[in-house]
Chains A and B, each alone.
Chain A
Amino acid sequence: MKKFSKLSSVLALGAAVCVGSATAAEPLTVVSWGGAYTKSQRMAYSDPFTAKTGIKIVDEDKSGNGLAGLRAQTEAGNVTWDVLDILEGDAILACDEGIAQELDYEKDLNPGADGTPVMEDFIEGSLSGCYVPTIVYATLFSFNDKAFPGEKPKTIADVFDVKKFPGKRAFEKKPDANLEWALAADGVPYDEVYDVLGTPEGVERAFAKLDTIKDSIIWWDAGAQPPQLLADGEVAIASAYNGRIFNAQVVENQPFTIIWDGQVYELDGYIIPKGAPHKKAAMDYLRFATDTQRLADQTKYISYGPARKSSAPLVDSHAETGVKMAPHMPTTPVNFKTPIKKDAEFWADNGDELRQRFNAWLVQ
């Protein structure tokens, strides 16, 4: 008897929960990169969105395998993500494969706060059909000041010069950006790296240059590793995402210096998966999160540049430390003198072969 009453109360509770969730607005699943980055999105986009609409946001830290996850969900016919934060190259692939929602930009997004039409407000060429970029981030080199008491490295070529600037290097374990840098260090003008890398001789040249410092390289996989390696003194110079270095410099007071030369910048932003369970709410979120003010707000929490031109004048200071953000932005003119724009199309086309080549090179 006791068992029965227990069972029935559990059933009743279950029924009550079901009824309850059916009436309230269902939460929206937003997939992103986790850590400080998801936190910045929560502060700037998600919490204000919940306050405005009453729709709760559930964060999932799965963007590291975003495209793989979306493909698997689509193949299984059970898409559970509503909004997916993804890099530009993967977004292009997702759009081509028909697993991302196509957007009508002028209709689906708000124009700039200063009245700039959508298509002119976002970074040129970035609105490629399904994709809405939110930030510009850079992969760049920085060093621990303690490692170089005298002369400091200033260029990509210096990073590859282990005689002049001794010490281990930390590189991300993929060919992206590393091959560009190898060519840049070998004297290829920054705006021609992809022309050279597109030829078999260029690929040989890039690997030959990487070979010269192969023994000094420690490879990292996760964005949190390079600041750690630098702080521990494991390496003297590390490639890293600029937001991570900013965090170490400003919040953790680490003596790191960024080399603002040849930083490879790319876009990160949102797509709506085709078959998203709450499409309408997801579209509302997309419109809200990518408007001028929200993109500017995000810079209070992390040092990535807003992808809208109209957001730039609204960039203010860091919420936690009060540091002015502009000097830390990868898009600020003084930092933006000699960047390399990551060619997402190039990597979508040649990535399979170059990654195979890179893996083979690592094994040797």
Chain B
Amino acid sequence: MMANTVEAEGQLTPDEQKRLTSDMHRSLRRKKFRALFLVAPLLIFIMVTFVSPIATMLFRSIDNPQVSEYMPNTTAALADWDGDNNELPDEATYAALVEDLVVGRKNHTIGKAATRLNYEKSQMRSLLTGTARKAGRLKPPYKDQLIKINKGWGDIDNWRVIKRESKPYTASYYIAAFDMETTPEGEIKMLPENQRVYLKMLWRTVWMSVVITLLTLLLGYPVSYLLASLPMRVANTLMILVLLPFWTSLLVRTSSWIALLQGQGVINDILVWFGLVNDESRLSMIYNATGTVIAMTHILLPFMILPLYSVMKTIPPSYMRAARSLGATPFTAFVKVYLPQSVPGISAGAILVFILAIGYYITPALVGGQTGQFIGNMIAYHMQSSLNWGLAAALGVVLLALVLGIYALYSRLFGGNNQMTLR
């Protein structure tokens, strides 16, 4: 205890100095450890539910074990073959193929390789599974017999696909996610215009999310202003009107929009009744992009109002009065004094709404029809229906990269600004 006490004028001996630093380090370490211990549950939770799924997704988008694992002999035999001079593989490769097919049929693994290859080229699935059914009865030499069973085995392009996908990692899911394809010759090029899907979807997702964000801002700004400037009691009552829909199930709100907007729905009925619209030419406001924009704007509105409100609440009303008393018109006072101070709310609300919107899929699926679908719907489709999980993962990674890019841009533009204006 005595050794640690530092006299104001007294010099520490080197020995004491050493002890002091080590003591300080120890107590700091203990503090750090205690802090780590306190956040450990959260850290573990985030690792398990957030980081590891994303890591798995990243991995799955390039993982390609099916062919090399379930057709090992063919993979080995094809290692030296390149198909450059348009020659089919040699007899030994066909023999390796037969071995793989026989084993694969017995273990029920050939279907996995077949499904994988079918993503790259149609008919590959039945080429493998169909031949596997007959492979057990074959005697060497195999080459001509296999081509007789299915002439696909005489098609050099099929062999090129097998060779290409026999590597343990693949870029083909990303190639597909960017609307490109690999030609049999190994060239990567864009798909013909009428077969492109994902880039168009991605672009549509981005611009529709921008529209939705702007609309929520346009609708949310006056509401938040009203809430922030009213007396507390009235504001709290009105706040319930904002929060009530926020707490209501997403599905319920989306379904209500269907009832309101559909061709025979409430709004169209009223318009027809007033004679504003002809009965034959009712407006199509749902099952298209319009439906998605309307429903999502409504659903995401609270995410704009709440951050705006919390920022506006901190802007003293006296500033506006001061501006007015110095001769500013109401408009100038608003633009020069109020608006700049509410920018942190605008930017926080906008990034929140935009990032939520860009990953949405339930509402677009229900009210989007064909023109109001988002990229999230394609990901869900490949997860659940087409079962091409590799492609779903690649699309997910593309979306994730896009969101991170936009967020980086946001924090560069507004990151420093935020704290300054808040003070």
Say yes or no: A349-B111 contact (C-beta < 8 A), given A67-B387, A233-B264, A360-B194.
Answer: no
Say yes or no: A364-B194 contact (C-beta < 8 A), given A71-B387, A97-B111, A218-B287.
Answer: yes
B129 interface contact, C-beta 8 A: yes
Other than A173-B370, A363-B370, give 6 A-B pairs with Cβ distance below 8 A. A68-B384, A95-B111, A218-B287, A219-B369, A234-B264, A352-B386
A363 neighbours in B (Cβ, 8 Å): 196-197, 200-201, 204, 370, 373
The number of chain A residues with a CB under 8 A from chain B is 36
The 24 sampled A-B contact pairs (Cβ below 8 Å) are: A65-B384, A68-B384, A68-B385, A95-B108, A97-B115, A98-B109, A98-B112, A218-B287, A219-B370, A234-B264, A345-B126, A349-B118, A349-B125, A349-B126, A350-B122, A350-B123, A352-B388, A356-B195, A359-B378, A360-B195, A360-B197, A363-B200, A363-B204, A363-B370
Interface of A, helix, strand, loop or mixed by DSSP: helix
Say yes or no: A93-B115 contact (C-beta < 8 A), given A219-B369, A362-B370, A363-B201.
Answer: yes
Q: How far is the CA of A363 from the CA of B193 in the complex (A)?
A: 11
B118 neighbours in A (Cβ, 8 Å): 349, 352
Chain B 169-210, CB-CB to A under 8 Å as 1, else 0, gives: 000000000000000000000010011110011001000000
Closest chain A residue to B125, Cβ basis: A349
Q: Which of A206-235 contact B (CB under 8 A)?
A: 218-219, 221, 232-234
B295 interface contact, C-beta 8 A: no
Q: Smallest Cβ distance from B262 to chain A, in angstroms?
A: 6
Q: How far is the CA of A349 from the CA of B361 in the complex (A)?
A: 29
Closest chain A residue to B204, Cβ basis: A363
Q: Which of B311-367 contact A (CB under 8 A)?
A: 365
B245 interface contact, C-beta 8 A: no
Q: How far is the CA of A349 from the CA of B263 in the complex (A)?
A: 39
Q: Which of A315-364 contact B (CB under 8 A)?
A: 345, 348-353, 355-357, 359-364
User: Is A360 touching B196 in the complex (CB atoms < 8 A)?
Assistant: yes
Closest chain B residue to A348, Cβ basis: B125
Q: Smallest Cβ distance from A322 to chain B, in angstroms?
A: 32
- Of residues A65, A219, A234, A363, which shows the largest number of chain B Cβ atoms within 10 Å of its Cβ? A363
Q: How far is the CA of A233 from the CA of B123 in the complex (A)?
A: 41
A61 interface contact, C-beta 8 A: no
Q: How far is the CA of A356 from the CA of B386 in the complex (A)?
A: 10
B383 neighbours in A (Cβ, 8 Å): 68
Q: Smallest Cβ distance from A152 to chain B, in angstroms?
A: 20
Closest chain B residue to A355, Cβ basis: B386
B126 neighbours in A (Cβ, 8 Å): 345, 348-349
Say yes or no: A98-B107 contact (C-beta < 8 A), given A345-B126, A348-B125, A348-B126.
Answer: yes
Q: How far is the CA of A219 from the CA of B381 in the complex (A)?
A: 15
A96 interface contact, C-beta 8 A: yes
Closest chain B residue to A363, Cβ basis: B200
Interface residues of A (CB under 8 A from B): 64-65, 67-68, 71, 93, 95-99, 168, 173-174, 218-219, 221, 232-234, 345, 348-353, 355-357, 359-364
A362 neighbours in B (Cβ, 8 Å): 370, 373
- Of residues B110, B125, B264, which shows the largest number of chain A Cβ atoms within 10 Å of its Cβ? B125
User: Is B108 touching A218 in the complex (CB atoms < 8 A)?
Assistant: no
Q: Smallest Cβ distance from A298 to chain B, in angstroms?
A: 27
User: Is A352 touching B119 in the complex (CB atoms < 8 A)?
Assistant: yes
Q: How far is the CA of A177 from the CA of B193 in the complex (A)?
A: 25
Closest chain A residue to B381, Cβ basis: A359
Closest chain A residue to B108, Cβ basis: A98
Q: How far is the CA of A96 from the CA of B133 in the complex (A)?
A: 10
Q: How far is the CA of A348 from the CA of B365 in the complex (A)?
A: 25
User: Is A96 touching B122 in the complex (CB atoms < 8 A)?
Assistant: no
Q: Which of B381-396 contact A (CB under 8 A)?
A: 381, 383-388
B114 interface contact, C-beta 8 A: yes
Closest chain A residue to B111, Cβ basis: A96
Say yes or no: A352-B108 contact (C-beta < 8 A), given A65-B384, A71-B387.
Answer: no
Say yes or no: A361-B194 contact (C-beta < 8 A), given A218-B369, A219-B370.
Answer: yes
Q: Smallest Cβ distance from A143 to chain B, in angstroms?
A: 16
Q: Smallest Cβ distance from A169 to chain B, in angstroms?
A: 13
User: Is B197 touching A356 in the complex (CB atoms < 8 A)?
Assistant: yes
Q: How far is the CA of A67 from the CA of B107 in the complex (A)?
A: 19
Closest chain B residue to A274, Cβ basis: B108
Q: Smallest Cβ distance from A226 to chain B, in angstroms?
A: 13
Q: Smallest Cβ distance from B106 to chain A, in angstroms?
A: 10
Q: Smallest Cβ distance from A333 to chain B, in angstroms?
A: 32
Q: Which of B95-144 contact A (CB under 8 A)?
A: 107-112, 114-115, 118-119, 122-123, 125-126, 129
User: Is A68 touching B387 in the complex (CB atoms < 8 A)?
Assistant: yes
Closest chain A residue to B384, Cβ basis: A65
User: Is A96 touching B114 in the complex (CB atoms < 8 A)?
Assistant: yes
Q: How far is the CA of A345 from the CA of B122 in the complex (A)?
A: 12
B204 neighbours in A (Cβ, 8 Å): 363
Say yes or no: A349-B123 contact (C-beta < 8 A), given A218-B287, A356-B197.
Answer: yes
A350 neighbours in B (Cβ, 8 Å): 122-123
Q: Smallest Cβ distance from B385 to chain A, in angstroms?
A: 8
Q: Smallest Cβ distance from A184 to chain B, in angstroms?
A: 22
Q: Smallest Cβ distance from A71 to chain B, in angstroms?
A: 7
B386 neighbours in A (Cβ, 8 Å): 351-352, 355
- Of residues A233, A352, A355, A361, which shows the largest number of chain B Cβ atoms within 10 Å of its Cβ? A352
User: Is A352 touching B122 in the complex (CB atoms < 8 A)?
Assistant: yes
Closest chain B residue to A69, Cβ basis: B384
A93 neighbours in B (Cβ, 8 Å): 111, 115
Chain B 386-412, CB-CB to A under 8 Å as 1, else 0, gives: 111000000000000000000000000
Q: How far is the CA of A174 from the CA of B370 in the complex (A)?
A: 11
Q: How far is the CA of A68 from the CA of B385 in the complex (A)?
A: 7
Q: How far is the CA of A361 from the CA of B264 in the complex (A)?
A: 28
Give me the 8 closest cross-chain CB pairs, A-B, nearest first. A98-B108, A96-B111, A97-B111, A353-B122, A360-B197, A360-B195, A65-B384, A362-B370
Q: Smallest Cβ distance from B273 to chain A, in angstroms?
A: 16
Q: Smallest Cβ distance from A345 to chain B, in angstroms?
A: 6
Chain B 71-112, CB-CB to A under 8 Å as 1, else 0, gives: 000000000000000000000000000000000000111111
A356 neighbours in B (Cβ, 8 Å): 195, 197
User: Is A234 touching B109 in the complex (CB atoms < 8 A)?
Assistant: no
B108 neighbours in A (Cβ, 8 Å): 95-99
Q: Smallest Cβ distance from A92 to chain B, in angstroms?
A: 9
- Of residues A219, A234, A349, A353, which shows the largest number of chain B Cβ atoms within 10 Å of its Cβ? A349
Q: How far is the CA of A96 from the CA of B124 in the complex (A)?
A: 14
